[in-house]
Structure 1
């Protein structure tokens, strides 16, 4: 080949290198894991949180004692690729604070692998736009060990860092009491027992501060046991039994008007405890 032709080819190859590099970078970007955005929506016959009904006060001020108190729920989660960081939002209809009808949760955290354990640490904000007295901030840490033969075991501890714990201490009302440092320990287990059918159970324990206990509340145990069936395409149906002990320390009374004294009102004429055991059915669609 003529020397001049070789030089022209070499110059052409050099000129093409930036375009090749750009094309490779674009290909690498396309191959990289994309941020993961997921959503979910659910209908449930009763929303319980840590063993307690979250729909307890009717429009006439009387306690809602029915087992059927449906709630609509839903949220979104965003994972930052493979970094382990994530943020999310979850919402539910509720009725336990005067003037408020929705719970809005915001959270963010970091997941990572440490030996055989999947770890998860983060912060969780419970927000009640109609009555901010219930607002609560927690930090949490969880560890999960899983095996195909034995299922998955999770231990999680949540610690309250806000001044109050779901208005139990009445801090915003000027009670001078504090719900900070209330803790919650949850132990959970899941196992697919037959294809598409998963057994789920959990037990939790709430550790109140001394200020909250001075109002008559007691530390209590909550429980959740049930099964979930996966229909495919993100649709699942779950049935579970949920409740808590020490029910007499969490009584509602049939007195119209805004509750005073404690989070549910003064203990007196007992008609209903939010810790009562319920059978709950939930239909969930993951998007």
Structure 2
């Protein structure tokens, strides 16, 4: 009886081990759908405030195929087009993007298109912007270049402007990451001479099982002459940003 019990235990352990290895070897799903929602103290894009120092609610949906192809959409409230301009009707930014990305060992690459869309009326030059981007990554570092195929967010004659950024996302301890970023926005066109700038970010994130809290310090070299809105707010001035993001 003792030998039988021991033999049965060994067989059970072997079966469990086989099942565990089979689970580990299970292929990644062919189709993946995710969504996210964020509450932020301010919507800040490339170092420039988009909501006049006021909170933002943001969210998006993403689809990814196992081949590396992906599509997504994202939206946020904005106020920069209407601040001090009663002729403009707009309160939201909607982004639509798609591309292809993959990884080879510690290296990754990503190439795609991104359309910024601002539904509304009363605009001067159209703020809707189409950019293409290419990025390369290695472990915790990502270098990305974005190129505008249209005028950049309504700057007249700014087609072919570019943004280059380097971001580090380094895990200090499990679930806690240090985020450091530097970017350079080049705005083309004689009508926007002096509008180019560099932005910086240093922050930390903490992941609570899919809910991520973020705290960042953001600053830029943006000229106040170009980036002070009609309400008197310097949108490129240094500030602290808080955020909470939930991914589903």
Q: Please classify the TM superposition score into its range, dividing by the shorter chain length.
A: 0.7 to 0.9
Task: Please say if residues 197 and 230 of structure 1, whose CA atoms lie closer than 8 Å, have aligned partners that are also in contact.
Answer: yes
Q: Residues 55-89 of structure 1: CA distance to partner in whole angstroms, max 9, x if unpaired?
A: 13xxxxxxxxxx4x100000011002x11000000
Q: Within the alignment, does 1:247 sit opposite 2:223 as a pair?
A: yes
Task: Please say if residues 143 and 156 of structure 1, whose CA atoms lie closer than 8 Å, have aligned partners that are also in contact.
Answer: yes
1:88 aligned residue (61, 64, 72): 72
* Gap runs ≥5 in structure 2: 1-25, 82-87
Partner of 1:259: none
* Gap runs ≥5 in structure 1: 1-29, 57-66, 147-151, 170-177, 256-270
5 Å-filtered alignment, 1:21-36, equals 33-36=29-32
Note closer, same or farther for the CA distance 1:113–1:212 as it changes in structure 2 (3 Å cut).
farther
Task: Please say if residues 158 and 188 of structure 2, whose CA atoms lie closer than 8 Å, have aligned partners that are also in contact.
Answer: yes
- Deviation for aligned residue 1:54: 0.1
2:94 aligned residue (85, 104, 109): 104
Q: Within the alignment, does 1:74 sit opposite 2:62 as a pair?
A: no
Q: Within the alignment, does 1:227 sit opposite 2:204 as a pair?
A: yes
3-state SS of paired residue (2:202): strand
Task: Please say if residues 155 and 192 of structure 2, whose CA atoms lie closer than 8 Å, have aligned partners that are also in contact.
Answer: no
Q: Residues 155-177 of structure 1: CA distance to partner in whole angstroms, max 9, x if unpaired?
A: 00000001x100122xxxxxxxx
Note closer, same or farther for the CA distance 1:212–1:116 as it changes in structure 2 (3 Å cut).
farther
* Number of matched pairs: 214
Q: Within the alignment, does 1:144 sit opposite 2:137 as a pair?
A: yes
Task: Please say if residues 250 and 274 of structure 1, whose CA atoms lie closer than 8 Å, have aligned partners that are also in contact.
Answer: no
Note closer, same or farther for the CA distance 1:235–1:211 as it changes in structure 2 (3 Å cut).
same
Task: Identify the structure with the greater strand proportion.
Answer: 2
TM-score normalized with structure 1 length: 0.70
Partner of 2:38: 42
- Separation (CA, whole Å) in 1 of partners of 2:182 and 2:154: 23
TM-score normalized with structure 2 length: 0.81
1:184 aligned residue (163, 174, 178): 163
Structure 1 stretches of at least 4 aligned residues deviating more than 6 Å after TM superposition: none
3-state SS of paired residue (1:108): strand
Partner of 1:26: none
3-state SS of paired residue (2:29): coil
- Separation (CA, whole Å) in 2 of partners of 1:254 and 1:222: 22
Q: Within the alignment, does 1:154 sit opposite 2:154 as a pair?
A: no
- Separation (CA, whole Å) in 1 of partners of 2:229 and 2:202: 29
- Deviation for aligned residue 1:224: 1.2
3-state SS of paired residue (1:186): strand
Task: Please say if residues 250 and 275 of structure 1, whose CA atoms lie closer than 8 Å, have aligned partners that are also in contact.
Answer: no
Question: Which of structures 1 and 2 has the bigger CA Rg?
Answer: 1
3-state SS of paired residue (1:168): coil
- Deviation for aligned residue 1:33: 2.3
- Separation (CA, whole Å) in 1 of partners of 2:61 and 2:222: 34
Task: Please say if residues 167 and 179 of structure 2, whose CA atoms lie closer than 8 Å, have aligned partners that are also in contact.
Answer: yes
- Deviation for aligned residue 1:121: 0.1
